[in-house]
Amino acid sequence: MQFEVGGSYDELIDFGRQLQQYPLVYFNDEQEYQAVFQKGKNRPRFLWYFRIEVFAYKTNGAAAVKMVYDNNAAAEYRNRAAFSIRTSPASIVELGHLLATWKPTEQAEVVWVADE
C-alpha cells in the first residue's frame, strides 16, 4: 500500500527514532509501549487523515503496526483504509531505522517488509 504524506518529514523521522528504541523504552507513559505518528484530523472538513500507531499487543513485546488513511470526503468520494500488521520487536526497530535515516530528497519512498 502506498500513501503520500505531504509537508515536513521531520516528524516522521523523529517517529523513526522513537521506534529504534522499541521495546526498551515506554513511549507515551509508563504503562504502554505505544508510539503514534499522525497528520491531519479524522473529521469531516479536514483534507485528509493519516495515522501510524505502533504498540505491544502481548507482554512479551510482540508488536503491531496499525495504519489508518482517510481522505475525509463525502460518502460517494470517500477513500478509507485501516489495517494492522503483527510483527516482531526487531522488525519495529528496523522500521525505525528506515524512517530515521530516510532522506526524502534522495529516496522517494520507504519500503519495509514486516516479519512475524
Q: Is residue 116 part of a domain?
A: no
Q: Is residue 43 part of a domain?
A: yes
Q: Is residue 28 part of a domain?
A: yes
* Residue 67 pLDDT grade (very low, low, confident, very high; cuts 50, 70, 90): very high
Q: Is residue 59's pLDDT more than 80?
A: no
pLDDT at 5 (0 to 100) = 60
Mean pLDDT, all residues of the chain: 83
**Rounded to whole angstroms, how far apart are CA atoms 6 and 47?**
12
pLDDT, tens digit, for every residue of 100-115? 998 888 988 889 999 8
Number of domains the chain is built from: 1
Q: Is residue 115 part of a domain?
A: no
pLDDT (mean) for 20-33? 66
Q: Is residue 114 part of a domain?
A: no
Of 44-48, 61-65, 82-86, 96-100, minimum mean pLDDT range: 44-48
Q: Judging by DSSP bridges, how do beta strands 63-70 and 49-56 pair with one another?
A: antiparallel
Cα distances (angstroms) measured from residue 28 to each of 32, 36, 46, 78, 111: 7, 9, 26, 31, 26
Q: Is residue 56 part of a domain?
A: yes
**Could you tell me the pTM of the whole model?**
0.80
> What is the side-by-side order of every strand in the sheet holding 80-87?
34-40, 49-56, 63-70, 80-87
Q: Is residue 76 part of a domain?
A: yes
Range of the structural domain that residue 94 is part of? 10-100
Specify the amino acid at residue 62: A
